[in-house]
Chains A and B, each alone.
Chain A
Amino acid sequence: MVKPNFAKFDTLALHAGQQPDPVTGARAVPIYQTTSFVFNDTDHAASLYNLERPGHIYTRLSNPTTAVLEERVAALEGGVGAVATASGMAALFLAVATLMDKGGHIVASGSLYGGSHNLFTYTLPRFGIDTSFVNPRDPQAFKDAIRPETRLVFGETLGNPGIEVMNLPVIADIAHEAGVPLMIDATFTTPYLINVFDHGVDIAMHSLTKFMGGHGTAIGGVVVDSGRFDWETSGKFPTLTEPYAGYHGLDFAEEFGTQAFVMRARAEGMKDFGACLSPTNAFYILQGIETLPLRMQKHVANAEAVAEFLDGCDEVAWVNYPSLKSHPDHELAKDLLPKGAGSILSFGIQGGRDAGRKFIESVNLASHLANIGDAKTLVIHPGSTTHQQMSPADLESAGIGEGMIRLSVGIEDVADIIADLKQALRVSQKG
């Protein structure tokens, strides 16, 4: 039996989406730092505007450097296409606004990045879109929360900062039974650790700022379309299945079929909302993606060692990391994330909030800042920073205690990371 021999993940991370520049021979992806692109003639211009021919018009809509990034991420995720955005939050808003109008409803995991939680809780209701939050470990809760007006089920592969493992196949089935797509923020895992589309997810999004870029140099986001959700059969998505006056009555599902979502996201969302990624940031992120497989292997190996270390420390009350047998989702993580459960972990220090503050202020190698997924080790106290807008009840529901520390384990020598944590833990217990 013959078998196709397609390029593998590591090869795609380096090559997908790019041919050497046909004019200059440049092997690296050139930065096309231009706002606009010259048309051949008026017919060519009209056909580009009217989505009759492929090509670039204006960098808010698309750009050759950014397009390499979009195509590369789509290739790594196994999607039909992708749209890059100015940030991960822009990607999330773009997806929501492409899927629904006022009156829409979202069922979301209660354990989300604080910015996403804020968007769903406070901002989207101003536009008539409501969200019900549920326990990410309770699929039945997702099912029970779905209403006739629900248009999206949303969660994160690994909850932030609770590190809950979402049971994607089960929750995807629940969403699909209700005729709505499942969208997942896969920032914590990247497509290297899990291909979410293989588990029934319909739309993936990333903050490219994190592991994908990997070096803390550029903010960016992306939304990727699996192409597998049948918008027409669902009948709940008029933005994709009915004529759009903004494009002379274009019906995206009728004309673009499996690419309906990603085409509308670009044609409407990038044009009207305008949260485009700069070509230079696309370049920086592409440099990171080239080494994504190598970095993720080191991130995971270091995180596993750090989790084991913390788990054995008297100063540590608990450690939340799915590779530990004590984690409630340990078996699910082994199933869904066989290459490892990422490099974000959270833990609580004996002594609560004060001990947590001392720890944060005592680390030397690790950096105290509001990011994750950098090559360098990072720490933060979510209750006072990334999740500070959440009420005590929401914090409790998201599993965030007052003393919780979130650690993003970098790719330094793991002995140096552990030594730094050890001395900071010692300081945290001093009176």
Chain B
Amino acid sequence: MEITVNGLKAHAATGGRDLNADEPAVILVHGAGLDRTVWQLQTRNIAYMGRRAYAVDFPGHGRSEGKALNSIEEMADWIPAFMDAAGIDKAKLIGHSMGSFVTLEAAARYPDRVEGLCLMGVSDSMPVHPDLLAAAERNERLAPELIIYWGLGEKAKVGGHPHPGLWVHNASQILFENAGDGVLFNDLAACNVYTGAVDAAGKVKCETLYILGKDDMMTPARKARPLADAMANAKTTVIEKCGHMMLLERPNQVHDALRGFV
């Protein structure tokens, strides 16, 4: 679907189903340098569970117009703008990596509009390795390579994926490479300087589900603990033999964890 948000065309995948205003809304928010298609299986699964699923492309990502937003706070403010344009009063938010910071901040800022929060691949901070940041700034292929090297669990690096014929390494690499010049750097820089995660977690009132990868080197599972501890109503699922890219690495386990949430 395409709608206008803040004067710019915004795109979201809806899981192949027509939207029904009577169904609860779920918004899926991608990570740095990615787009809606990272949620390809989850979007369809949630939609066919009878929900209005919106896997959004942030401005400057995927098929959405405009420049990439510069900070986690700006991205968080974009979420209610998207909801207004799409006619969504309240929604459950699901975020991965940078998207988890964005949805966390949005849930803290707009508690009346967020009915539930799911944070995947999240930690209390996301300091970005200076070499990765530098490679992203130069738009080098090395940047996505480093993300995949650190982001995929050891199991995913060898393969044996449940999705027949899919080579997750390159499926991830090409997705990152498709980001426009400067987009990955912009997003990584936004994650690097964001320090509001623990404060935001303390303001979240809704039910929150954490889905973490046991072998995640980018956002180690233990570093999500300060966020969960700051919340009154948090549950955590840790997926074994899984890195940071759990959506692609372990889709069945992610489905199982999301089933009760959405």
Chain A residues whose C-beta falls within 8 Å of the C-beta of B44 in the assembled complex: 50-52, 255
Chain A residues whose C-beta falls within 8 Å of the C-beta of B37 in the assembled complex: 255-259
Closest CB in chain A relative to B13 CB, distance in Å: 6
Q: CB-defined interface of B43-57 with A at 8 Å, one 1/0 digit per residue?
A: 111001000000000
Say yes or no: is A296 at the interface (Cβ < 8 Å to chain B): no
Q: Kindly state the separation between the CA atoms of A419 and B164 in the bound complex, as whole angstroms.
A: 47
Which listed segment binds B: A72-80, A364-372, A391-399? A72-80
Say yes or no: is A81 at the interface (Cβ < 8 Å to chain B): yes
Say yes or no: is B257 at the interface (Cβ < 8 Å to chain A): no
Chain B residues whose C-beta falls within 8 Å of the C-beta of A75 in the assembled complex: 159, 167, 169-170
Residues of A84-125 contacting chain B, CB below 8 A: 84
Which listed segment binds B: A3-11, A176-184, A204-212, A307-315? A3-11
Name the CB-closest residue of B to A64.
Answer: B164
Q: Kindly state the separation between the CA atoms of A4 and B151 in the bound complex, as whole angstroms.
A: 11
Q: Is the CB of B170 within 8 A of A70?
A: no
Q: Is the CB of B129 within 8 A of A2?
A: yes
Q: Kindly state the separation between the CA atoms of A170 and B222 in the bound complex, as whole angstroms.
A: 50
Chain A residues whose C-beta falls within 8 Å of the C-beta of B161 in the assembled complex: 17, 54, 67, 71
Q: CB-defined interface of B172-208 with A at 8 Å, one 1/0 digit per residue?
A: 0011011000000000000000000000000000000
Q: Is the CB of B171 within 8 A of A5?
A: no
Chain A residues whose C-beta falls within 8 Å of the C-beta of B45 in the assembled complex: 47, 52-53
Say yes or no: is B114 at the interface (Cβ < 8 Å to chain A): no
Say yes or no: is A68 at the interface (Cβ < 8 Å to chain B): yes
Which listed segment binds B: A140-148, A245-253, A283-291, A344-352? A245-253
Q: Is the CB of B146 within 8 A of A4?
A: yes
Closest CB in chain A relative to B94 CB, distance in Å: 15
Q: Is the CB of B174 within 8 A of A2?
A: no
Q: Kindly state the separation between the CA atoms of A110 and B47 in the bound complex, as whole angstroms.
A: 48
Residues of A233-262 contacting chain B, CB below 8 A: 247-251, 254-259, 262
Say yes or no: is A227 at the interface (Cβ < 8 Å to chain B): yes
Q: Is the CB of B170 within 8 A of A1?
A: no
Q: Kindly state the separation between the CA atoms of A56 and B252 in the bound complex, as whole angstroms.
A: 13
Name the CB-closest residue of B to A56.
Answer: B164
Q: Is the CB of B149 within 8 A of A17?
A: no
Chain B residues whose C-beta falls within 8 Å of the C-beta of A226 in the assembled complex: 174
Q: CB-defined interface of A9-44 with B at 8 Å, one 1/0 digit per residue?
A: 000000111110000000000000000000000000
Known contacts: A1-B131, A2-B129, A52-B48. The answer to whether A17 contacts B171 by CB under 8 A is: no
Q: Is the CB of A250 within 8 A of B160?
A: no
Q: Kindly state the separation between the CA atoms of A118 and B178 in the bound complex, as whole angstroms.
A: 37
Q: Is the CB of B251 within 8 A of A53?
A: yes
Name the CB-closest residue of A to B38.
Answer: A257
Known contacts: A19-B158, A53-B41, A56-B164. The answer to whether A228 contacts B174 by CB under 8 A is: yes
Q: Is the CB of A71 within 8 A of B170?
A: no
Say yes or no: is A157 at the interface (Cβ < 8 Å to chain B): no
Known contacts: A71-B161, A79-B167. The answer to whether A258 contacts B16 by CB under 8 A is: no
Say yes or no: is B237 at the interface (Cβ < 8 Å to chain A): no
Q: Kindly state the separation between the CA atoms of A90 and B98 in the bound complex, as whole angstroms.
A: 42
Q: Is the CB of A17 within 8 A of B160?
A: yes
Say yes or no: is A82 at the interface (Cβ < 8 Å to chain B): yes
Say yes or no: is A266 at the interface (Cβ < 8 Å to chain B): yes
Q: Is the CB of A227 within 8 A of B16?
A: no
Residues of B120-163 contacting chain A, CB below 8 A: 129, 131-132, 134, 142, 145-146, 148-149, 155, 157-163
Q: Is the CB of B40 within 8 A of A256?
A: yes
Chain B residues whose C-beta falls within 8 Å of the C-beta of A78 in the assembled complex: 170
Chain B residues whose C-beta falls within 8 Å of the C-beta of A16 in the assembled complex: 158-159, 167
Say yes or no: is B255 at the interface (Cβ < 8 Å to chain A): yes
Say yes or no: is A62 at the interface (Cβ < 8 Å to chain B): yes
Q: CB-defined interface of A158-169 with B at 8 Å, one 1/0 digit per residue?
A: 000000000000
Q: Kindly state the separation between the CA atoms of A11 and B187 in the bound complex, as whole angstroms.
A: 34
Chain B residues whose C-beta falls within 8 Å of the C-beta of A52 in the assembled complex: 41, 44-45, 48, 255
Closest CB in chain A relative to B4 CB, distance in Å: 19
Chain A residues whose C-beta falls within 8 Å of the C-beta of B160 in the assembled complex: 17-19, 68, 71
Chain B residues whose C-beta falls within 8 Å of the C-beta of A4 in the assembled complex: 142, 145-146, 148-149
Say yes or no: is B15 at the interface (Cβ < 8 Å to chain A): yes
Closest CB in chain A relative to B165 CB, distance in Å: 4
Q: Is the CB of B175 within 8 A of A258?
A: yes
Q: Which of B48, B167, B252 contacts A80 (CB 8 A)?
A: B167
Say yes or no: is A83 at the interface (Cβ < 8 Å to chain B): yes
Q: Is the CB of B146 within 8 A of A248?
A: no
Known contacts: A251-B16, A254-B13, A258-B178. The answer to whether A74 contacts B170 by CB under 8 A is: yes
Q: Is the CB of B149 within 8 A of A5?
A: yes
Known contacts: A18-B160, A257-B37. The answer to whether A266 contacts B165 by CB under 8 A is: yes
Say yes or no: is A55 at the interface (Cβ < 8 Å to chain B): yes
Chain A residues whose C-beta falls within 8 Å of the C-beta of B40 in the assembled complex: 255-257, 259
Say yes or no: is B215 at the interface (Cβ < 8 Å to chain A): no
Name the CB-closest residue of A to B163.
Answer: A54
Chain A residues whose C-beta falls within 8 Å of the C-beta of B132 in the assembled complex: 2
Name the CB-closest residue of B to A71.
Answer: B159
Say yes or no: is B8 at the interface (Cβ < 8 Å to chain A): no
Closest CB in chain B relative to A249 CB, distance in Å: 6
Known contacts: A255-B15, A255-B43. The answer to whether A50 contacts B169 by CB under 8 A is: no
Q: Is the CB of A54 within 8 A of B170?
A: no
Q: Pick 18 A–B contacts, CB within 8 A, sort by A.
A: A2-B132, A4-B149, A18-B159, A19-B158, A51-B41, A53-B41, A53-B45, A55-B252, A62-B164, A71-B167, A75-B169, A79-B167, A81-B166, A82-B165, A255-B16, A255-B43, A257-B40, A258-B37
Chain A contact residues, CB within 8 Å of chain B: 1-7, 15-19, 46-47, 50-56, 61-63, 66-68, 70-72, 74-75, 78-84, 226-228, 232, 247-251, 254-259, 262, 266
**Other A-B pairs, 15, CB within 8 Å; known A53-B251, A78-B170:** A6-B145, A6-B157, A7-B158, A16-B167, A19-B158, A47-B45, A54-B162, A61-B164, A62-B165, A63-B164, A67-B165, A68-B159, A71-B161, A259-B40, A266-B164
